[in-house]
Amino acid sequence: MTDEKQDGNIDEAVATEEPPQYGVGPFSIREVALAGTWLVAFVVSFFPIYGDLGVGPSVWSSGIDWVLTVGVPTVAVFLIVLRRLSPQGIRRVGSLGIDQFASVAFSVATVLWLTIIWNSFIQLASGRAFLGTWVVWVEFFLMLAGVFLTVLAPFIAPFAQDFRGRPEVPAHRNARPVLPVSPRPAFVRPEPAADEDAPYSEDTATADENAYEAAPAHAAQAPATPYAASADGSEATADAGVDDTPRGAYDDAETTVLPLDEQDADADARADVAAAATATTVAADRPAAATEPVHARESFEHVENPSSTVEPAVATAPQHQAFWALVPEERDIVDEIGIPVFRIGPTAWALVIEDRGDAFVVRHEDGRIGYLHDVSGVTRG
């Protein structure tokens, strides 16, 4: 069984338990009494409220006083009669039910008639005559009776039956409880994407420039290839002083005897040439080792390059993985310009939505966002 059907059954049960209500035709006793009170007040309102009978002005000719003194109670009684004759007609005035509207109408009219009487007493106290006529007193007591039949009727025994056993209906949306007002979250200015990538881009560009400038130094320190030594087309053995001329070619050559000191100098020169040729030959025997990259050699020796100033670029991009954090003591969460927004402490976990290395971006449970610059001793959860 749904809640609506259950509520309907409860209302029917309550209505059946109440004794039947008798009245005059379709109207209850309270409604008949209220209509009779209004009818007398409506007829009396045409008599003068100031001055002599038949000479002074009535409430209908005294500006717009008739709107609240007689007009609004007239509308209230008309709606009460219409509710009985046409149950599906007008049921409320704004967010007020018809009986609530009638209570307000007769209460306001009573206050206005009392104001007229009070002003008449003020005129009498200042040495003048009492301006109000008997009409003012009759209207005041008739409207006061209307207050008893509307505002106090649920507490008066003869008229309380008119309010018992009524079915429950949903209240008008303007008469329902209001929603709680939530605090507006603090505005956080979004940071441009270029500012976050700028440190990493500058470090990377600096590393590339340093590597590019250090490349000529590496090229200058690299040993010469064996092919460059023999660019003139001759063999390395020819530079080393190895004579490939046939033995018989020197038979007809003149023999020249050099002095001893000249022979020693010539021998030293030939020894230097032979040493240079030997080094070139050793380099030629290993051409792949000189041109092969360092990381491809079958060697585990550490290669150091003291002339290079290139340092590996450190990734400074922030981590966007959210996590829970617990600080050891109370710490302030500030905005972009350093103004404290809220505080976090060791009694509750805080949600970190971004880790920037030296600072955390913390989000409060109400939506506010700030920065924690003191990240020492923070426990991650």
Average pLDDT over residues 71-76: 96
Residue 374's alpha-carbon distances to 183, 321, 328, 340, 377, in angstroms, are: 27, 19, 11, 13, 9
End-to-end CA distance of the chain: 47
Closest by Cα among 304, 21, 276, 34 to 166: 21
Q: How confident is the model at residue 101, as a pLDDT? A: 94
Is the model's pLDDT at 128 over the cut of 50?
yes
Whole-number Å distance between alpha carbons of 168 and 268: 128
Is the model's pLDDT at 315 over the cut of 50?
no
User: By the 8 A CB rule, do 351 and 324 touch?
Assistant: yes
- For 10-46, how does the pLDDT look when each residue is reduced to its tens digit (9 = 90+)? 444 444 466 787 888 889 999 999 999 999 999 999 9
Whole-number Å distance between alpha carbons of 272 and 121: 142
Mean of all residue pLDDT scores within the chain:
73
- For 60-71, how does the pLDDT look when each residue is reduced to its tens digit (9 = 90+)? 988 898 999 999
DSSP secondary structure code for residue 175 in this structure: G
pLDDT category of residue 265 using cuts at 50, 70 and 90: low
Residue that wins the pLDDT comparison between 70 and 271: 70
Whole-number Å distance between alpha carbons of 254 and 265: 21
The pTM score is: 0.45
Whole-number Å distance between alpha carbons of 363 and 341: 11
Q: How confident is the model at residue 276, as a pLDDT? A: 59
Whole-number Å distance between alpha carbons of 246 and 252: 13
